Amino acid sequence: MASEREIFGLTGPSYLTTIDWNNSHHRKSIAASLVRGAYVLERDRQQNRLGPQALAPPWWESFNFVLNQVLVDEDEHTIFGAIYEFKFQYPNPKYAGGSYPPKYVIAFRGTINKSGNRSQDFKLNLQCIINNLQNSSRFRLGMEATRNIVYKAGQGNIWLAGHSLGSSIALIIGRNMAKTGIHMETYLFNPPFISPPIEQIKNEKLKLGVRFANSVLTAGLAVAVNDGHKPKPAQDDPFIVLSSWVPYLFLNPSDPICSEYMGYFEHREYMEEIGYGKIGRLATQHSIGSIVSTTLGKDSEPMHLIPSAYLTTNLGPSKNFKEAHGIHQWWKPDLQCKYKLHQFKH
């Protein structure tokens, strides 16, 4: 039996009948809906819902997209992503706000905790935790599909989007593309930050102290490991190369999976304010795990390597973890959010 959350008419942003592509809430809601479409595509496959019984199509057809391609896991043959193509009307109407929709959106779902998905999805979550997601077949297939779409349509006006585990895949793909000079508009919903959940500490002084100590330790280890090595020139330093790519991150303070991104960016600014900017910048470029990998002779960028980002934080209450981590929160019409741009300056 279908869940209500799979049915667009019951839980989707059906109120968006006129789209203003300049409106950040509209763009966010549509990106989140297309990610939800990838989830429901897999549920349709599992439940053998075909033709009129399929529940996935309204999640993209409502916004004038068509399904261009499904992305299928090589190991378990499950659907983990989808590529949507916008169908322009001819002659092209003038869209509200004078802006235009994306030509393509490449969307990746997160974990589905159901039989048939649980084993492979949890295996991918483990690869995410140990910073090895870039060696997965899902990343390879997603990267290949993204390059093909960019080659076909040009780099302009192609979106990446993902939720939870899917946002980690989208992040690495977007990061790799940015290193080649192709900056894709990227929507990352509840992206995992692999770190102790310092943001969940309620005592602000204690939280600040823990963050400061962690920054000093991480920066110190980074200096020790790299001692004797020449610093990379600006054009080869990944942090500097990536600083002009600004993905959109959507975070909920009650979600320990993604909330650490809030402290990651805010603490870097705090370190600048108190005169420890160099330590703060160095700490945000590394993780203990990536430093250990370097000492073992492995070149391993930390998963959270994002120099710049536009953060959208959900300020509304969440009843439980499932609600705080869910994709559905991001298209609510009464969503109360805090917005902040964090631009890395070198």
Provide the 3-class DSSP secondary structure of residue 294: helix
Residue 166 lies in a domain: yes
Q: What is the pTM of this model?
A: 0.86
Instruction: Identify the bridge partners of residue 342 per DSSP, sorted by sequence position.
Output: 309
Q: How many structural domains comprise the chain?
A: 1
pLDDT on residue 77: 86
Residue 60 lies in a domain: yes
Residue 234: other Cβ atoms inside 10 A = 11
Residue 44 lies in a domain: yes
Residue 215 lies in a domain: no
Q: DSSP state, 6?
A: G
Per-block mean pLDDT, blocks of 10 residues, the chain (346 long): 88 93 94 98 94 96 96 89 88 60 95 68 65 81 95 87 94 93 96 75 70 66 58 63 92 92 81 69 60 51 80 94 94 94 84
pLDDT on residue 291: 44
Cα–Cα distance for residue pair 41/29, rounded to 1 Å: 18
pLDDT on residue 292: 46
pLDDT on residue 69: 96
The per-residue DSSP string of 117-181 comes to THHHHHHHHHHHHTT-GGGSHHHHHHHHHHHHHHHHH-STTEEEEEETHHHHHHHHHHHHHHHTT
pLDDT on residue 225: 64
Q: DSSP state, 307?
A: S
Residue 122 lies in a domain: yes
Residue 34 lies in a domain: yes
pLDDT on residue 23: 93
Residue 308 lies in a domain: no
Query: Which two tokens mark 22?
Result: 């300049």
Q: With contact defined as beta carbons under 8 Å apart, do 170 and 178 qualify?
A: no
Cα–Cα distance for residue pair 226/237, rounded to 1 Å: 14
- What residue numbers bound the domain in which 152 lies? 4-189
On the 0-12 / 13-18 / 19+ scale of CB atoms within 10 A, 240 is middle
Residue 161 lies in a domain: yes
